[in-house]
């Protein structure tokens, strides 16, 4: 029954996404998919009863906030909604709740208290966000009004946090479930779609009902599917292990990414914002220092534990009866 419901939800969602551009962008399809995602996550949470129930309900709230934003966008302003509008407040709130939900869901896992992985995730997300900023936003932000610039800056900043929360889940050592992959794809589609929305909205070229909306619709359907799938009870199956080499490589690339972002901005805009890049380099440097300090602390604790274990072994051996010692020779 549960699998049948999941398949029916996916089939209906994919059909509506396919129909959406063919009918010129139906507002009812858009609004229904957003609210249906919230309802699907609530139903899945009540049915499967995952340990991170609060996290999944927060995820449902994020989809509901995004869905209410759609209702406001399509119904409160007629055919020419302004940018920014009240809908953007709901969209930004939904992004915040999305990130909080991911942190809560992963935090319930066995390795959810691994603070170093949070540092890794923030560094990598920060570098990716800077690249997106240099390629898409740095030249467009200055063309809008003051409030429009504030809102437009808020989108990439909040989505860096959302991306960091997703990367935090990626760094948990363990087997990924289908629910994880569905939710990860939902986050990626949301970030890409928002990126393609802000710049056209600033320049007045965004048109509701175009193919650009398919990314948001796909994000809704995948988030709902993640909540309905039975694997949402576990999300990531953790296992013990050492620091994976991919994390080290990604951290190294993140530091290089600041220089790449400067080159991208030079190529796209024609000049480099020195203050932004210098600030970014300083922030990234602080996070890398924090990461190195964390590794040193871990190594010190491991060394202290090994020395304590050796001390106890020697004490037991030295206090053992002579006969036992001779018999073991």
Q: For every one of its 329 residues, what pLDDT tens digit does the chain have, with 9 covering 90 and above?
A: 567 899 999 999 999 999 998 888 888 999 999 999 999 999 999 999 998 899 999 999 999 999 999 999 888 887 777 878 899 999 999 999 999 998 888 876 555 556 677 777 777 777 877 777 776 666 555 555 577 777 877 887 888 888 888 887 777 777 788 999 999 999 999 988 887 776 655 555 566 667 778 999 999 999 999 999 999 988 777 665 555 666 777 777 777 877 888 887 777 667 777 877 788 778 877 877 877 787 788 788 888 888 888 788 777 767 766 544 444 45
Report pTM.
0.77
Whether residue 271 is contained in a domain is answered as: yes
Tokens representing 185 are 């794809």
Whether residue 37 is contained in a domain is answered as: yes
Check if the beta carbon of residue 216 is closer than 8 Å to that of residue 193.
yes
**Number of structural domains found in the chain:** 1
Check if the beta carbon of residue 248 is closer than 8 Å to that of residue 25.
no
Whether residue 213 is contained in a domain is answered as: yes
Whether residue 304 is contained in a domain is answered as: no
* Structural domain boundaries enclosing 80: 2-285
- Measured CA to CA, the distance from residue 202 to residue 89 in angstroms comes to 16
Nearest alpha carbon to residue 129 among 169, 167, 94, 90: 167
Whether residue 73 is contained in a domain is answered as: yes
Nearest alpha carbon to residue 115 among 297, 261, 275: 297
Whether residue 327 is contained in a domain is answered as: no
Whether residue 290 is contained in a domain is answered as: no
- List the CATH number of the domain containing 221: 1.20.1070
CB atoms within 10 A of CB 204: 10
Whether residue 312 is contained in a domain is answered as: no
């Amino acid at each position: 029954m549960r699998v049948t419901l999941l398949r029916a939800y996916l089939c209906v969602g994919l059909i509506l996404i396919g129909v959406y551009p063919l009918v010129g962008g139906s507002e009812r399809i858009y609004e229904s998919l957003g609210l249906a995602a919230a309802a699907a996550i609530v139903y899945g949470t009540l049915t499967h009863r995952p340990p991170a129930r609060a996290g999944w309900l927060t995820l449902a709230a994020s989809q509901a906030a995004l869905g209410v934003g759609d209702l406001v966008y399509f119904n409160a302003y007629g055919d020419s909604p302004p940018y920014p509008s009240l809908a953007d407040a709901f969209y930004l709130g939904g992004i915040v709740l999305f990130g909080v939900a991911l942190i809560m869901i992963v935090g319930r896992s066995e390795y959810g208290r691994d603070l170093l992985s949070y540092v890794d995730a923030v560094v990598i997300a920060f570098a990716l966000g800077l690249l997106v900023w240099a390629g898409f936003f740095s030249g467009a932000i200055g063309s809008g009004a003051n409030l429009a610039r504030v809102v437009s800056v808020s989108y990439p900043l909040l989505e860096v946090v959302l991306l960091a929360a997703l990367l935090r889940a990626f760094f948990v050592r363990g087997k990924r479930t289908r629910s994880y992959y569905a939710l990860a794809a939902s986050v990626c589609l949301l970030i890409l779609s928002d990126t393609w929305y802000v710049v056209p909205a600033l320049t007045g070229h965004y048109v509701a009902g175009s193919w650009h909306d398919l990314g948001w619709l796909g994000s809704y359907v995948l988030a709902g599917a993640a909540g309905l799938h039975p694997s949402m009870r576990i999300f990531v199956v953790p296992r013990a292990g050492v620091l994976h080499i991919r994390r080290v490589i990604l951290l190294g690339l993140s530091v290089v990414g600041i220089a790449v972002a400067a080159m991208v901005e030079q190529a796209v805009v024609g000049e480099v914002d020195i203050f932004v890049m210098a600030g970014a380099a300083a922030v990234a440097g602080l996070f890398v220092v924090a990461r190195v300090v964390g590794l040193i602390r871990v190594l010190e604790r491991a060394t202290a534990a090994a020395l304590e274990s050796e001390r106890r072994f020697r004490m037991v051996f030295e206090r053992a009866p002579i006969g036992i010692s001779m018999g073991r020779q």
